[in-house]
Amino acid sequence: MALHLNPAILREVFLYLVPPKPFAPYDIPFDLFVCTLVCRAWHHDARPLLDGIINYANFHSLFYHNSTEKNRIAQLLAESKRNGLDYHKMVVRMIIDATYVNESEFEREANALDAILKLNPPNLIELLVYVDFLAGSPATTLNPLLIQCLQSLSPSIKRIHLQVQGDATSQANHKHLVDLISVIAPQLLAIKLSRFTLDSDIVAALRCCTELREIDLDHVNDDHRLPNVPPWPKLLVFKYAQSGRAAITRTVVGLAKSCRHLNSFTFETDSVAVLPAIKDTALAALLQDLPELRRLRLARVGYVNRAFLAEILLPRGAALEHIDLEGCSSLSLAAIEPHHWPALKSLQLVGCHMVGARFVRAVVDACPAVEVLVLPDHLMSESKSEMGLGAFRRERKVNTWSRVEGLHVLGVDDKDPSGKEVVEMSVRGGESLRGSGSFRKVWKRVRRALSKTE
C-alpha cells in the first residue's frame, strides 16, 4: 500500500514528475499535484517539492482559457477537499471566457465551472464574464453555461465584471446576463460593464444593487437609460468611460444628491475632440456637494483648460487629495493659491502638452502636502530647479517625481545672517550640519547628483 512505501523511494518517483527548470510561473505540474492527493502520507512527502515549484497565487484567479486545464483544476480542487485540504479556499476570482470557443468547448467549460462552484469556495468574491458575439458565441451556447453557473453560484461573490461585444442587444442574449446580476444583486459591492448595451432590464437589475460601493461603466451603449437619481446610497467609486455620443449629465448631477459618500470619480473620453457626455456644470456640482470626494480623474476631456481650472477645479477642489488630468491637452497655468488644494497629495499631468515649468513650480509652492507628481514627457529635460522640485526625486525612466522624506535642500543663493552662502540638509533628529568639513564633502556629492538629474 502507498502508506508503507519508503519515503526515499517515493521522493525518487516524485522527482521524475518535477518539470524542468525554469518553471513557468503560471503552470501547474498536474502529475505531481495528483500524487499529493493520493493520501495524506504522499501529500506529506510530495508537498515540499510542490512548494518549490508552484505559485499558489495561481489558484486565486482561475483564468485558464483551456477547458481541459480548467477541468483538471476542478478535479484537483474537488479531490483536495475530500482529503481535508484547503486548496479550494484559495480561489478568489473566476473567469468565464466565452470568446473564440465552439459549442463543444462551451460544454466542457460549463462542466468545469459547475464543478468548481459546487465546492462552494468560501473566499470566491469576484466573477468575470467575457463574451464576444462577433466571434461566434451565440446565445444558444452561452445561456446554458450561464444557467449552470447560476444554479451553483456562490453566495460569497461581491464583485462582477461583464464584458460583452457584438450583438448583445437582443433579449435572448441579455436574459441570463440580467439574471446573473439579479441573483447576486443583494450582496453585490462592485460591478463593471464593458462594451455593454444597457436596456431597461439591465437598468432594473442595477437598481436592485443597493449595496454597491463601486460601479464602472466602460464604453457602454444607451447610457442615457441610467437613472437620474442613482439608487446607490453607499456608492464610493464611480467610473465612466464614454462611448461615442452620449449624455449622462443628469445622472452625474444625481450622484451629488444621492451618493453622499462618493470619494472617487473618473470620467474618460477617447479623445479631446469628442463632445463630452458630462457637462462641466455637473462636475462643478460634484465638487461643491460631495464633501468626501478625494480622488478625481478627468482623462482627455476637452473643456479641461485654464478657465475650467480657474473657475471650477481650483475654487471647488479644496478637499481633493488625488487629481489625474491625463491627456487634457488644453490645460495651462492659472493662479494657484495655498487655500485651493491644501490636501493635494498627487497630481497626474501626462499628456498635458501646454503645462510648463511655471505650472509645476506653482503647484509645489502652493501645495505643501503634495508627495507625487507625474509630469508630461516634454518636461523630461526641464531643469529641476526651474520646476521647484528641490525636495523631490525622479523615478528612473519615467517622469514621476516623489518627495524625499526628511530631505530639504536650500538653493545656493540662500544666505545666512552673516551674508555667507549656506546650504542646509535636514538629518536624523532634526539636526543640521553647517560649515563642517564632513558636511562640505557630503554636499559636494549631493550637488553632483543633482546636476546629473537636471
Give the C-alpha separation, 287 to 348, whole Å: 18
Does 3 have pLDDT greater than 70? no
- Residue 431: pLDDT band (50, 70, 90) is very low
Q: Domain span at residue 396?
A: 304-405
Regarding whether 416 and 324 lie in a shared domain, the answer is: no
The pairs formed by 105-109 with CB atoms below 8 angstroms and a separation of 24 or more are 105/67, 106/141, 106/142, 106/144, 106/145, 107/144, 108/67, 108/68, 108/70, 108/71, 109/67, 109/70, 109/145
Regarding whether 415 and 339 lie in a shared domain, the answer is: no
Identify the pLDDT of residue 69.
Answer: 74
Range name among 55-64, 150-159, 428-437 with the lowest pLDDT average: 428-437
Regarding whether 369 and 331 lie in a shared domain, the answer is: yes
Q: Does 196 fall in a domain?
A: no
Give the C-alpha separation, 108 to 112, whole Å: 6
- Residue 123: pLDDT band (50, 70, 90) is confident
Regarding whether 437 and 394 lie in a shared domain, the answer is: no
- Residue 26: pLDDT band (50, 70, 90) is low
Looking at 405, 422, 439, the residue that finishes a domain is 405
Identify the pLDDT of residue 32.
Answer: 76
Does 335 have pLDDT greater than 70? yes
- Residue 52: pLDDT band (50, 70, 90) is confident
Give the C-alpha separation, 70 to 57, whole Å: 16
Regarding whether 431 and 400 lie in a shared domain, the answer is: no
Range name among 24-38, 106-120, 332-346, 415-429 with the lowest pLDDT average: 415-429
Q: Does 278 fall in a domain?
A: no
Range name among 50-59, 154-163, 226-235, 243-252 with the lowest pLDDT average: 50-59
**Residue that the C-alpha cell 467610473 belongs to:** 239
Q: Does 324 fall in a domain?
A: yes
154: nearest Cα among 109, 187, 110: 187
Contact 332, 359 (CB under 8 A): yes
Identify the pLDDT of residue 314.
Answer: 94
Regarding whether 387 and 420 lie in a shared domain, the answer is: no
Q: Mean of the pLDDT values across residues 377-405? A: 88
Average pLDDT, the chain: 79
Distance of CA 312 to the CA centre of its chain: 27
Regarding whether 387 and 359 lie in a shared domain, the answer is: yes
Give the C-alpha separation, 88 to 122, whole Å: 8
Contact 131, 142 (CB under 8 A): yes
> Which residue did the predictor score with more confidence, 416 or 409?
409
How many independent structural domains does the chain possess?
Answer: 2
Q: Does 146 fall in a domain?
A: no
- The greatest distance separating any two alpha carbons of the chain, rounded to the nearest whole angstrom, comes to 91
155-209 pLDDT, tens per residue? 778 888 888 765 544 555 567 778 888 888 888 999 999 888 888 888 999 999 9
Q: Mean of the pLDDT values across residues 213-235? A: 89
191: nearest Cα among 217, 169, 210, 173: 217
Q: Does 263 fall in a domain?
A: no
Does 140 have pLDDT greater than 80? no
CA dihedral 276, 277, 283, 284 (to 10 degrees): 80
Q: Report the percent of the chain where pLDDT is more than 90.
A: 33
Regarding whether 374 and 346 lie in a shared domain, the answer is: yes
Q: Mean of the pLDDT values across residues 320-325? A: 97
Does 365 have pLDDT greater than 90? yes
Identify the pLDDT of residue 370.
Answer: 95
Q: Which three cell numbers stand for residue 178?
A: 440580467
pTM, to two decimals: 0.78
Sort strands 264-268 and 346-348 into parallel, antiparallel or unpaired: unpaired
180: nearest Cα among 167, 241, 196: 196
Q: Does 419 fall in a domain?
A: yes
Identify the pLDDT of residue 417.
Answer: 38
Range name among 33-37, 311-315, 339-343, 420-424 with the lowest pLDDT average: 420-424
Q: Is the peptide bond before 22 cis (omega within 30 degrees of 0)?
A: yes
Q: Does 379 fall in a domain?
A: yes
Identify the pLDDT of residue 103.
Answer: 63
Q: Does 245 fall in a domain?
A: no
Regarding whether 421 and 361 lie in a shared domain, the answer is: no
CA angle centred on 318, ends 312 and 319, rounded to 5°: 120
Regarding whether 398 and 328 lie in a shared domain, the answer is: yes
Instruction: Determine whether 410 is exposed, middle or buried from the number of CB atoms within 10 Å of its CB (0-12, 13-18, 19+).
Output: middle
Regarding whether 452 and 383 lie in a shared domain, the answer is: no
Range name among 178-192, 342-356, 415-429 with the lowest pLDDT average: 415-429
Looking at 405, 420, 440, the residue that finishes a domain is 405
Give the C-alpha separation, 110 to 131, whole Å: 14
Q: Per DSSP, what are the bridge partners of residue 197? A: 221
**108-130 burial: b if 16+ Cβ within 10 Å, else e:** ebbbbbebbbebebeebbbbbbb
50: nearest Cα among 87, 81, 82, 83: 87
Regarding whether 379 and 330 lie in a shared domain, the answer is: yes
Q: Mean of the pLDDT values across residues 433-440? A: 49
223: nearest Cα among 205, 207, 244, 209: 244
Identify the pLDDT of residue 319.
Answer: 95
Identify the pLDDT of residue 198.
Answer: 85
Identify the pLDDT of residue 6.
Answer: 74
